[in-house]
Amino acid sequence: MMNNMLAPEAAKTSGHPAAQWLLNNIVTLIFIAFTLFGFFISDNVTLPFFLSELSSRVFRNSFLVLSLIIPVLAGLGLNFGIVIGAMSGQIAVSIVRYFDGGGVSGLLYAFAIAFFVAALCGYLTGLLYNKTRGQEMIASLIVGYFANGIYQFLFLFVVGVIIAVPATHPMIKPDGIGVRMTVDLVPLKAGGLKYALDDMCTMPFVYALLLMAVCIFIFTAARWIINNRRGESYKNSRGQAAANLLLGGAIAAVSLHAIITDSQLMMVRRVPVVTGLMITALCIFTSLITKTKLGQDFRSTGFSQNVSRVSGIDVDRTRIIATVISTVLASWGQIIYLQNMGTLNTYNAHTQIGMFSVASLLVGGASTSKANVKNAIFGTILFNSMFIMSPEIGQSLFGQALLGEYFRTFMVYGVIGLALGLYVWKAAKDAERASMTE
């Protein structure tokens, strides 16, 4: 499973296979090496602390990372424009917060409002991407900055100057114009949105691990059997199934060991079940959509717009749909993120989302044209491990946590630049070789 997960694309470029494999997975390998290195040198990171941090970060961010996959399938590249989805989510959360909504009903309202706002924004972004064909990624980055301007206009000016709001409302700045820098989302017990999704149902970490292992077993077995029944046994790969079972077995062994010996793993924070279920649902949705007509259109548009157009696919419409889905999912992802944070950093919470999510996906082994659920989940885990470790590394190597934080920023930017650069470079090499052989 690891091998399969890490190989983003078939090794087309020539050269030694090992060197080839290294080049294809360089981004992932750098991150693994960095995180392991961090474990070796820092003494103050205990396993329970690390796993608690990691699991809460993974549950917080996975949904956002997953929202990037569909545009990649549709050939739009990495949609940095999910920040627009994130802003839509924040608009929804602000509206619910303004009217003192909370709990499950407040959450549902937020999801519903976010759906409409994000669908509209996604439609407009989709139109823009169709006008900037071939340059979608830089356009998506810039449109995020552009939308941030509009967002600030809404929150700093329209609220207060055009829409009258009471200055006494805890969300509104004391002078009555604009929304405060940070808005408390009020704990669930007090009828607010904080942990509204996460605290619906929680379970201990090790039991969640065990459940995951069982799911892996069932999934592997089910796929094997279904493929055999359909007479498509050629789709079964013994190696992959064995790897899956091995992974599941390892996870099960670790969790069972922890339960029986009552080891320190029992101290890891409880995990949110409903959030986990939503993430799982999105994983299944993203995998299954490729089997539908729409999903096939995405793929074919991503493969070649001209061929798709000739075969009767409305390319522009397909691309817009992909953008709308991505934006709506991102808005929901941001709501999940915010209810977990508990406070709304009105003007900062969304700005880094696009960058971090894209970096996570790339770290998982995805590229501009290929991404799947495994890349997203594996990447989120790895990226956030790096995120937790880097200040620790800075602290223990140089005595400065700040250094680790700058290094972290460098890793984020560098990883995106490196992954995108390598992809284009490889594509250019392949094209060159193709033209040579002709």
Give the number of residues in contact with other proteins, rule: CB under 8 A: 48
Helix (H, G, I), strand (E, B) or coil at 163: strand
Q: For residue 266, what are the CA distances in angstroms to 46, 263, 346?
A: 13, 6, 36
**Of the candidates 103, 133, 256, 352, which one interacts with other proteins according to CB under 8 A?**
133
13 binds other proteins (CB under 8 A): no
User: Hey, is 178 helix, strand or coil?
Assistant: coil
From candidates 4, 409, 430, 434, binder to other proteins by CB under 8 A: 409
Residue given tokens 């590229």 in the structure block? 367
One residue of 10, 16, 44, 149 binding other proteins per CB under 8 A: 149
3-state secondary structure of 16: coil
The CA distance from 293 to 166, in Å, is 50
Planar angle of CA 357, 269, 282, nearest 5 degrees: 40
Phi, psi angles (nearest 5°) of residue 184: -75, 130
The interface region with other proteins, picked from 96-104, 243-251, 267-275, 420-428 by CB under 8 A, is: 420-428
Whose Cβ is closer to other proteins: residue 32's or residue 142's? 142
Residue 138 in the binding site for other proteins (CB under 8 A): yes
Spatial neighbors of 203 by CB under 8 A, at least 6 apart, are 211, 270, 271, 273
Binding string, 59-98, against other proteins, x = CB under 8 A?
A: ----------------x-----------------------
Instruction: Identify which of residues 58 and 419 has a Cβ nearer to other proteins in the complex.
Output: 419
Nearest CA to 426 out of 1, 107, 37, 19 is that of 19
Residues 109-128 interacting with other proteins (rule: CB under 8 A): 128
Which residue from 297, 331, 330 is spatially nearest to 316, judged by alpha carbons?
297
Measured from the CB of residue 13, what is the shortest distance to other proteins in angstroms?
A: 13
CB nearer other proteins, residue 323 or residue 339: 323
| Binding flag, residue 178, other proteins (CB under 8 A) | yes
Site string for other proteins, 350-379 (x = CB under 8 A): ------------------------------
How many CB atoms are closer than 10 A to CB 410? Answer: 11
Q: Work out how close the CB of 183 gets to other proteins at its nearest, in angstroms, rounded to a whole number.
A: 18
Work out how close the CB of 21 gets to other proteins at its nearest, in angstroms, rounded to a whole number: 21
- Which residue's structure tokens are 């999934």? 219
Rounded Cα distance between 117 and 95, Å, is: 12
DSSP secondary structure of 406-434: HHHHHHHHHHHHHHHHHHHHHHHHHHHHH
406 scored as a contact of other proteins (CB under 8 A): yes
Binding region for other proteins (CB under 8 A): 75, 128, 131-135, 137-139, 141-143, 145-146, 148-150, 152-153, 156-157, 161, 175, 177-178, 303-306, 398, 400, 402-403, 406-407, 409-410, 412-414, 416-417, 420-421, 424-425, 428
